[in-house]
Amino acid sequence: MERSGIAMGIVYLEKERLFKLDTPHTTYIIGIVGEEGFLGHAYYGKTIKDAQGASALMRIYENPFTPDTNARDRLSFMDCFPTEYSGHGVGDYRESSIRVTTKGGYNAVSLAYVSHEIYKGKRKLPGLPATFGSEEEVTTLAIVCEDKAIGLTAVLEYSVFETVDAIARSARILNDSKEAVVLNKVMSGCLDMDNRDFEVITLHGSWARERHMERKQLGHGKFLVSSLRGEGGHQEHQFMALLDKHATQTTGDVYGFHLVYSGNFRMLAEVNQFDSVRVMGGIEPEGFRWLLKPGESFQSPEMIYAYSSQGLGGMSRTFHDLYRNHLIRSPYKDQKRPILINNWEATYFDFDEQKLLDIAKEASKLGIEMLVMDDGWFGNRFDDNRALGDWQVNEEKLKGGLKKLVDGVNVLGMKFGIWFEPEMVSPESKLYREHPDWAIAIPGRTPGLARNQYVLDISRKEVRDYILEMMFKVLHSANISYVKWDMNRPLSDLGSACLQAENQGELYHRYVLGMYEMQERLLAEFPDLLLENCSGGGARFDPGMLYYSPQIWCSDDTDAIERLQIQEGTALIYPLSAMGAHVSVCPNHTVGRNTPFETRGYVALAGTFGYELDITKLTDEDKAMVKLQTAMYHKFNDLVREGDYYRIASYRENHLYDCFQVVSKDKKRSLVFYVQVLNEANKKSRILKLQGLEEGLTYTVKELDMNVADSEDMVKDMQKAFSGELLMNAGLHFERMWGDFRAKVIVLEA
């Protein structure tokens, strides 16, 4: 396949000893240098047709030269060479990609090129989620490097995609020696390049305010974000972007880096004395110690690189397309998700089968398609202090059993979903009384509680088997279409009763591998199941989880105004179709704010769409709005799910209003979401430049109207038509609305 005359894929230029990796609009160049075979980075950026002479970009022809021609300055060379996978303890004093401990107690590692393979397609990473693609869609380069002194081999894999400007990297470490070696650190990817006065964007937050964007100047030294919580967590995210100082949504160079992993991580950028920047990502080395016996191998998670010369928006659309087409596997990937109503904020633990049926009956009349029964249906779970791990239906609450309830919901024409927290156990539970050693703990140390629960040691097969057996029994007992998989506390007190002392440092990673295996087995048993991952809201919103579930609960904060910042940061790298977003009641249960029901619906439309409320208690006016909103979802979800995302304005930046746009792939349809957070006295209305349209097309402009009696009338024709050229270069007029927290959605059709 050709794009703009450039062949996609990977070639090896034997004379130059260069690897040239091409995506539709980018080129990545790797060079082999010197007799020892140093593997260096030469270039990453816009497409280069002819790579001849690119070796000079590694500065190997100037002092200190390569060690085979200038051994006296070997350390100087090592400390400035732009390596593709940095060693440790041999003269490169920047952050290392790998660190080991040999039987003799030594830590040094230096990897040199041995051989390579270029092949069509992409291999699976054993036990780990990763991007995928057919032989027609992906080409992969596997470079074999070796440290002969310790008998260690590293296979560095790079995959490029035929239609997406992304590169997937990973590292597999093999012990070819006769002695065991301890891996203290294994990064997934490393990139060295000149610093161009870069700024850095990361995503930060806390419970109920996840993934807020933060942009700052990148200075000398090391800047990193990481997690030691056993998951990504609410606080940090396994993402980092370097960008030109004046880069915007539409202009400037942006380098995005994202780790496909759901456990402890480290994302780092280091600026050194020569004003070079090293970026790397992988498993957080603190708390990691992996014993690699002779003949064994260790596979790192995958790290995604995405370069854009068209600003942040270009990077976002690259990640969106990559994840939609090459990471999410669910049969729901290209389907509308059922509009669900979750009973959590409606009832918390105080419900029975009649209350749930009452919610379902009212919801079914208004176009809602699935009832999800949240926490509180099992064991003696009357509050959050007990019963986790006892996954048997509480028939005191659900009289007649689960099947009777589900059948009653199905009769109404609705699907049924259910909540689990499979990785946890309560001290007050039958499971803990029988198997206290199944909880993660350190002997002689009182383990910490969070939400009065412990974490199960799912690195152990018998624990995984026991929990899955209970889950499968429940799911086979009734017609259940959806599972919400939750995790409400981080890991601590890391100790496993089944691991030897020399293997205890493997627990964090083995835990994540165990969780992945459980979800893989769940989906193998129930291939048509809609799985939604959750972790106290958005603490486990990461690419690894998208491999198993097409949507993830974005945040426990469902306030529409708070969601503007949460969803902006999330949409920076994730497709809108992945964001669990619901309409809830006011005053909002998290922040106490009152926002119009109409605004709440528009904000939730930019996600999977659903409801988190007691629908039996809504006013007739709000119920009428629900009926219109569900119709709105069906009318526009295909566009939201499949379209290209453009950020027009940011409430995070201007503190007044928010605006973003979704455009169909053929550019003939678009939705523009506008939220006026704060009204201002004596100010002009706004004219905002749209993006992503076709200049030569003429677009009719319409507006959604949720104050009508019939959904057929919800799209109000404004009797206006504009060229795409005018809308993008001059802009679209947005009239001021009366009051705060007001919103509108504009519909463009060519």
Which H/E stretch holds residue 57? none
Q: How many CB atoms lie within 10 A of CB 723?
A: 17
Give the DSSP per-residue string, 383-425.
Answer: STTS-TT--SB-TTTSTT-HHHHHHHHHHTT-EEEEEE-TTEE
Dihedral sign (CA 103, 104, 109, 110): negative
655, 675 contact by CB (below 8 A): no
How many Cα atoms occupy the beta-carbon half-sphere of 31 within 13 Å?
Answer: 23
The encoded tokens of residue 434 equal: 């029988």
Rounded Cα–Cα distance for residues 563 and 558 (Å): 6
| Residue (of 337, 426, 352, 388) closest to 634 by Cα position | 337
Classified as helix, coil or strand, 116 is: strand
The encoded tokens of residue 687 equal: 């004219």
Q: Which listed residue (375, 556, 557, 644) is catalytic?
A: 556
Burial state string for 97-122 with b = 16 or more CB within 10 A and e = fewer than 16: bbbbebeeeeebbbbbbeebebeeeb
- Cα angle 227-229-233, degrees, rounded to a multiple of 5: 70
Rounded Cα–Cα distance for residues 540 and 330 (Å): 18
Which H/E stretch holds residue 622? helix 620-642
Note if the bond before 64 is cis, omega within 30 degrees: yes
425, 451 contact by CB (below 8 A): no
**Is 644 among the catalytic positions?**
no
For residue 287, count CB atoms less than 10 angstroms from its CB and return exposed for 0-12, middle for 13-18, buried for 19 or more: middle
CA dihedral 356, 359, 362, 368 (to 10 degrees): -100
Provide the residue type at 324 as one letter. R
**Is 556 among the catalytic positions?**
yes
Q: Which listed residue (192, 486, 542, 557) is catalytic?
A: 486
Helices (H), 553-619: 560-571, 597-605
- Strand 302-308 to 166-175 pairing: antiparallel
Rounded Cα–Cα distance for residues 517 and 499 (Å): 19
Q: How many CB atoms lie within 10 A of CB 144?
A: 16
Rounded Cα–Cα distance for residues 684 and 672 (Å): 20
Helices (H), 122-237: none
Q: Which residues are part of the catalytic machinery?
A: 486, 556
